[in-house]
Amino acid sequence: MSKVQRIAPCLWYDGQAEEAARFYTGIFPNSRITHISYFGEAGHEVHGRPAGSVMVAAFELDGQPFTALNGGPQFRFNEAISLMVSCESQEEVDHYWEKLSAGGDEQAQQCGWLKDRYGLSWQIVPIALLRLMSSPDRARSERTMEALLQMKKLDIAALERAAAG
């Protein structure tokens, strides 16, 4: 038996847990579904789900464990929490932005943030942004921030040009 991760996110869905897990594991390398469990008759009066339907899809994204729970319609994702994807290159930014935003809410896209088709918020962040924003040169950081605020998907070259002045 493998070691259980002490802290792992549990994502609440209304019937799309397995679908979402398959969607996400198809995007990230080193990802897989690790377990699927199903509702039985027990607790039907509480959960209201048909016996045999997916209750939980456990999965890993690039080695990070997650749980997707079909909890019902009571709760929805909101912007108070997001998953941040650190990217080494513009190609990675483009890849994750394109894949995760497909079918999502285009109105919710700004400053590297997007909502996927399930309503989950993601931040697609080039590592270069952290370097540019943490510059001891305040004017450089300000120029970077001004450029960032004008973007949806982040453009590393444009951010670097803005930082340089």
Looking at the structure, do residues 91 and 144 belong to the same domain, yes or no?
yes
Residue 127 in domain: yes
The rounded distance, in Å, linking the Cα atoms of 102 and 26 is 13
* Nearest of 42, 73, 69, 46 to residue 56 by alpha carbon: 69
CATH of the domain at 96: 3.10.180.10
118, 57 contact by CB (below 8 A): no
Model confidence pLDDT, tens digit, residues 104-152: 999 999 999 999 999 999 999 999 999 999 989 999 999 999 999 999 9
Determine the average pLDDT of the residues in 41-49: 79
The rounded distance, in Å, linking the Cα atoms of 3 and 144 is 42
- Name the strand (E) or helix (H) holding 23: helix 17-25
* Nearest of 11, 132, 26, 18 to residue 77 by alpha carbon: 11
Question: Does residue 18 sit in helix, strand or coil?
Answer: helix
Kindly compute the dihedral angle of the four CA atoms of residues 5, 29, 105, 147, in this order, to the nearest 10 degrees. Answer: 100
Tally of domains in the chain = 2
CATH of the domain at 66: 3.30.720.100
The verdict on pTM exceeding 0.75 is: yes
Looking at the structure, do residues 94 and 145 belong to the same domain, yes or no?
yes
Looking at the structure, do residues 28 and 56 belong to the same domain, yes or no?
yes
Confidence of residue 42 (pLDDT cuts 50, 70, 90): confident
Task: Give the range of the structural domain holding residue 90, as residue numbers without chain letter.
Answer: 82-164
Alpha-carbon distance values, 8 to 5, 11, 26, 52, 63 (Å): 6, 10, 20, 25, 11
Looking at the structure, do residues 33 and 93 belong to the same domain, yes or no?
no
